[in-house]
Amino acid sequence: MENVLIIGTGCAGWTAAIYTGRANLKPVVVTGSMPGGLLTTTSIVENFPGFPEGIDGTDLMMNLQKQAERFGAEIRYGTVDQVDFTQRPFKVWIDGDLIESQSVIIATGSGHRHLGIESEKQLDKKGVTYCAVCDGALPMFRNQPLVVVGGGDSACEEAMYLTRFATTVYLVHRRDSLRASKIMAERTLANPKIKPVWDSAVEEILGVDQNKVTGVKLKNLKTDLLTTIDCAGVFVAIGHVPNTEPFKGAIDLEESGYIKLFGGGKTSVEGVFAAGDVADSVYRQAITAAGSGCAAALDCERFLAALE
């Protein structure tokens, strides 16, 4: 039986592993389907304190992993498919294999929100994508017009990144101003390759008959006017949804789907803690995820000490 099982390997999970590792608790860390989490899909992280020139997202996560392993964290590759938190030891199934643990820290982060239209599903990976850094350089997107959907920091970052490859990047947003931070919004709108398309929603992604994206049909939300833009790719960057699927029914969730916290990293089940984006609908930054990973680890250490 394990002392601490940490689920997730983003900033929150690795930080929790560093702290519980240094406390000699020999944490076991489950990677999930995307080791390193969403930060590995970003390019340069400019706002993580301590890196004046910024740091590559994947490098940052590799550093955190090495640091956690140095203090005895053990890695399990796999994805949690089921949990039983009704009594201790808690039961967690990873790709069908059972692990029992005295405590659990959930740090499963969040995934990309989808537009929710049929053509998006049909053209997924055929020109519809959720990650410019992962897919932007593919030959199908080079020297082509591309569409980014969204108005937050992610959409701006995706649009800026894609200007390396695209002829034009159309930034389609449902309002007439960006939600992104001022610095990102200004940089984005100043880029001559990026053309904002305001007050517009994607009605349909075109090209299902050709098995590849050929354009988007947009609706102007103020005038109801329908227009079409030709493009070879649609990069959806409209926010995130927490990865809580295996925990539904096992712990309390907010109405929005995020894990409900009861002070620090405590969840509704004593001995189960949560940290990072899976329990944070407000800040969702790498550094706040790391900070909450630390808090959950300290709460967890105190819980285990009290058991003894």
Q: Would you tell me which residues interact with ligand NAP (CB under 6 A)?
A: 47, 113, 115, 149-155, 157, 174-175, 179, 181, 238-240, 284
| Residue 176 is among the residues annotated as catalytic for this protein | no
The C-alpha angle with vertex 8 and arms to 128 and 20, in degrees rounded to 5, equals: 160
- Shortest Å distance, C-beta 24 to ligand NAP: 34
- Shortest Å distance, C-beta 181 to ligand NAP: 6
Rank residues 184 and 274 by Cβ distance to ligand NAP and give the closer one. 184
Decide if 194 contacts 184 (C-beta within 8 A): no
Decide if 297 contacts 12 (C-beta within 8 A): no
Q: What are phi and psi of 216, to 5 degrees?
A: -130, 145
| Residue 135 is among the residues annotated as catalytic for this protein | yes
H/E segment holding residue 238? none
H/E segment holding residue 188? helix 182-190
| Residue 134 is among the residues annotated as catalytic for this protein | yes
Rank residues 20 and 40 by Cβ distance to ligand NAP and give the closer one. 40
Rank residues 152 and 271 by Cβ distance to ligand NAP and give the closer one. 152
Rank residues 17 and 237 by Cβ distance to ligand NAP and give the closer one. 237
Calculate the dihedral angle through the C-alpha atoms of 79, 30, 285, 156, rounding to the nearest 10 degrees. Answer: -40
Rank residues 157 and 301 by Cβ distance to ligand NAP and give the closer one. 157
- Shortest Å distance, C-beta 236 to ligand NAP: 8
- Shortest Å distance, C-beta 237 to ligand NAP: 6
- Catalytic, out of 95, 97, 134, 176: 134
Query: How far from the centroid of its chain's Cα atoms is residue 248's Cα?
Result: 19
Query: How far from the centroid of its chain's Cα atoms is residue 126's Cα?
Result: 21
Decide if 130 contacts 237 (C-beta within 8 A): yes
- Catalytic, out of 11, 131, 156, 231: 131
- Shortest Å distance, C-beta 274 to ligand NAP: 18
Which amino acid is present at 156?
C
What number of other Cβ atoms are within 10 A of residue 267's Cβ? 25
Using Cβ positions, the residue closest to ligand NAP within the complex turns out to be 152
Residues recognised as catalytic: 131, 134-135
